[in-house]
Amino acid sequence: MATTPARYARRVAHPSELEAAEMARDDSVEAIELARARGQTYPIVTIADGAEHDAQTTGFHKRWWRQLDEDWPEHLRETYNEAFTHELMAAHVAIVELEFDAATARWSNIGVVDLEQWEPTFPFDPASSGWIKQDARSRVGWRRRSALRKLFSRKKEKKGEGEGEAT
């Protein structure tokens, strides 16, 4: 009785740390372009779908799923994510993790927001972290940047400063 050898999935070579960082820099260019596209109705532009493999065609989406499919070691995932985040932070683009929960599953989509067009209505320091977690059902939290809003808020601040002085 002849036995057939067991067939295993072919082992995939992981990228080096240098290659992972280069992939992230390449993917960041596309993500920045998507975030800066004019005419956006909502501030968050989705660049990766956590529920479906083939839902998006961005470079980030493909690499995000590749990390999971090929089971990249944690240090490679961190290298990719840190390089991607660094590039977007330098371009004043935030990364938003939209968290979904349904009766049958939980997942996250990844989106980007151009901080030159949109401003958060919550405390956010882009220098400390370029990633923001947000409930996907929430449409609050972002508003278009406005020169008039900034001008009027400065006038209110100046007016408030003079009120407390004794005359």
What does pTM read for this prediction?
0.73
Question: Which pLDDT score is estimated for 167?
Answer: 41
CA distance 38 to 45: 11
| Separation of alpha carbons 103 and 152, rounded Å | 45
Residue the block writes with tokens 């958060």: 120
Instruction: Please report whether residue 58 resides in a domain.
Output: yes
Along the 167 residues of the chain, how does pLDDT read in single tens digits? 555 555 545 566 888 999 999 999 999 999 999 999 877 788 888 888 766 766 667 888 888 888 888 889 999 999 999 999 999 999 999 998 888 887 788 888 888 999 999 988 888 887 777 788 887 776 668 888 876 666 666 655 666 555 544 44
Task: Identify whether 127 is part of a domain.
Answer: yes
Instruction: Give the number of domains in the chain.
Output: 1
Please report whether residue 167 resides in a domain: no
**Domain limits for position 155:** 17-159
